[in-house]
Amino acid sequence: MNDNMVQRLAHYLSATETRSGEAIGEELGCSRTAVWKYVEALRNLGIEINAVAGQGYRLREPLELLDRDRILAGLNPPGGAGLRNLLIEASLDSTNSALQRLPLARQHATAIFAEHQSQGRGRRGRQWYSPYGKNLYLSLGWKFEKSLSELGCLPLVVALAAAQALQRAGLEGHGVKWPNDLLIGGRKVCGCLVEVQGDSQGPCHAVLGVGINVHMPVSRQTEHIDQPWTDLHSHLPGFSRNALAVLLLEELIVQLSKFDEQGFAPFGEPWEQADVLYGQSIDVQSATGSIRGTAVGIDEMGALRLDTGQEVLKLHSGEVSLHKTKL
């Protein structure tokens, strides 16, 4: 299917007026049969389109598509100045994978948003459900003159940047769950997938993937999401996806630049403020098995500190689940 035509159709329909098949055909420069195919393609992406007899097509709900010019115009320095390239795609397998397919020299400070991901990737081989035109799926490339071991805390920096973007959007009551989930009331609103390649001595190239549930349409697919989730719309109804895209880009660039210059030290306190696990009884699933204890913050490298009663362990990777749900 021609993604560009489907995207143009979505833009043309994005207001809630009814558009006749003829008008759509003229706008897109295609036949009525092709219009019907593109309408079906958009429906297959999860967009509800009503066909009004004798009148044409109309979106069931207005759609705010990402707008490159609007995002670029909204970016303030220094975040905006640090961005080298901004791409907005209709549909990709995964924005992280698409960025990784670019030559390394073009990845730094390139940001890719997609309206839809067919194979959105989460941590630990999970899928990231990515319906069209509703949430944010962003990957940003960043080159660090640091060694691989210095980048262990990068996922935490990315989560704090996303948390700050949501705070600037006006959200309250969200926090970070080690290593890089954002939760509201115990439900996940944002996940980050940080993938790094490079030399043990540096430099390293990182792809920082962030998915934010902005206005997730409830569907059969959402029933299969294997952890409690929420979206921004449930807490800040109608917040603009373009405005959030601007805040997210700005915060990522500002916080990554700070991490580049000063390392992880300035992030310790913001993490403490936002840490939803502190003092909670948790289970951590790691390669060597499951360990139970009380979360007691992070160390200066971003490792999770887990008090088992006998000792305080420092865990560099693992999947946390709450032993007692108190979040």
Contacting ligand BTN (CB under 6 A), which of 56, 79, 82, 122? 122
What SS3 class is residue 124? helix
The Cα 85–Cα 191 span in angstroms is: 23
- Whose Cβ is closer to ligand BTN: residue 183's or residue 204's? 183
Q: Does 302 bind ligand BTN (CB under 6 A)?
A: no
Residue nearest to ligand BTN (CB): 191
Alpha carbon 14 to its chain centroid, in Å, reads 22
Helix (H, G, I), strand (E, B) or coil at 267: helix
Segment contacting ligand BTN by CB under 6 A, of 122-130, 218-226, 231-239, 260-268? 122-130
Using the structure block, give the residue that is written with the tokens 């960025």. Answer: 99
Count of C-beta atoms within a 10 Å radius of residue 316: 14
Cα 159–Cα 161–Cα 167 angle in degrees, nearest 5: 105
Q: How many of the chain's residues bind ligand BTN (CB under 6 A)?
A: 20
Binding track, positions 211-240, relative to ligand BTN; x by CB under 6 A: x-----------------------------
Which one of 193, 247, 276, 284 is in contact with ligand BTN (CB under 6 A)? 193
> C-alpha dihedral over 283, 286, 291, 295, to 10 degrees?
-50
95 or 280: whose CB is closer to ligand BTN?
95
Question: Which residues are within 8 A (CB) of 279 and not within 5 positions of it... i.e. 6 or more apart?
Answer: 294, 295, 296
Is 126 a binding residue for ligand BTN by CB under 6 A? The answer is: yes
- When asked if residue 121 is in the footprint of ligand BTN (CB under 6 A), the reply is yes
59, 16 in Cβ contact below 8 A? yes
Count, residues in the chain: 327
Q: How far apart are CA 193 and CA 126, in angstroms?
A: 11
Tell me the two tokens of residue 242.
């373009």
Give the shortest CB-97-to-ligand BTN separation in angstroms. 7
What is the Cα–Cα distance from 315 to 282, expressed in whole angstroms?
A: 13
Given 3-state DSSP classes, what are the helix, strand and coil percentages for the chain, each rounded to the nearest 5?
35, 30, 35
Min. distance of Cβ 137 from ligand BTN in angstroms?
Answer: 4
For ligand BTN, which stretch binds (CB under 6 A), given 6-14, 33-41, 146-154, 185-193?
Answer: 185-193
Closer to ligand BTN at the Cβ: 139 or 280? 139
Angle between helices 3-13 and 21-28 (to 10 degrees): 130
Could you tell me the smallest distance in angstroms from the CB atom of residue 247 to ligand BTN? 16
Least distance to ligand BTN from the beta carbon of 119, Å? 7
Q: Which of residues 145-184 bind ligand BTN (CB under 6 A)?
A: 181
Is there binding between residue 187 and ligand BTN (CB under 6 A)?
no
- At closest approach, how far in Å is the CB of 314 from ligand BTN? 22
Closest approach of ligand BTN to the CB of residue 188, in Å: 7
For ligand BTN, the binding residues in 84-113 under the rule CB under 6 A are 94-96
β-strand pairing of 136-144 with 110-117: antiparallel
The answer to whether residue 209 forms part of the interface with ligand BTN (CB under 6 A) is yes
Q: Which of residues 56 and 209 has its CB atom nearest to ligand BTN in the complex?
A: 209
Rounded CA-CA distance 66/106 in Å is 22
Q: Using CB under 6 A, list all residues that contact ligand BTN.
A: 94-96, 117, 120-123, 126, 128, 137-139, 181, 191-193, 209-211
